[in-house]
Amino acid sequence: MSVIYIDGNCNLCNGVIKHIYKHRPEGFLFGRISPLNNPEYVIYIKNGDRYNAELALRMIVKDMGGYYSVLSWALNIVPKRLLKYMYFFVSRNRYKVFGRKSLCELTSKIPESFKVEDFKSF
């Protein structure tokens, strides 16, 4: 099973996880990135391979399948440097735009059976 690790303080991250769980609950497990690590990254682990940041985003969208394959195609034609710039621009400004939770949590909409331990080493 593939695992998506997010910053549990971020409302954007939690909203995306709710959306993924709603549309593909059988495809992923979810966890938080330890606050000791860089919370700008989304980490995606699939078949033992680790993807960070914009590469994780590309792989998650690809693995969503269905109509997300159109978005996956679009992300693949965006130049890598531009996608990386856009990813980190949103990442650095996500708290200003979407807000921040005072406690690091993974949305309560996800059952415990779909949650894994925090990602502790970067």
pTM: 0.90
Residue-wise pLDDT for 27-65, tens only, equals 999 999 876 666 678 999 999 999 999 999 999 999 999
Q: In whole numbers, what is the pLDDT of the chain averaged over residues?
A: 89
The DSSP secondary structure of 90-122, one letter per residue, reads: HHHHHHHHH-B-SS----TTS-GGGB-PPB---
Please compute the mean of the pLDDT values over residues 81-103 and round it to a whole number: 91
pLDDT of residue 100: 86
Burial group, residue 57, by CB count within 10 angstroms (0-12, 13-18, 19+) = buried
Q: In what order do the strands lie in the sheet with 28-32?
A: 28-32, 2-6, 43-46, 49-52
**What is the Cα–Cα distance from 51 to 14, expressed in whole angstroms?**
19
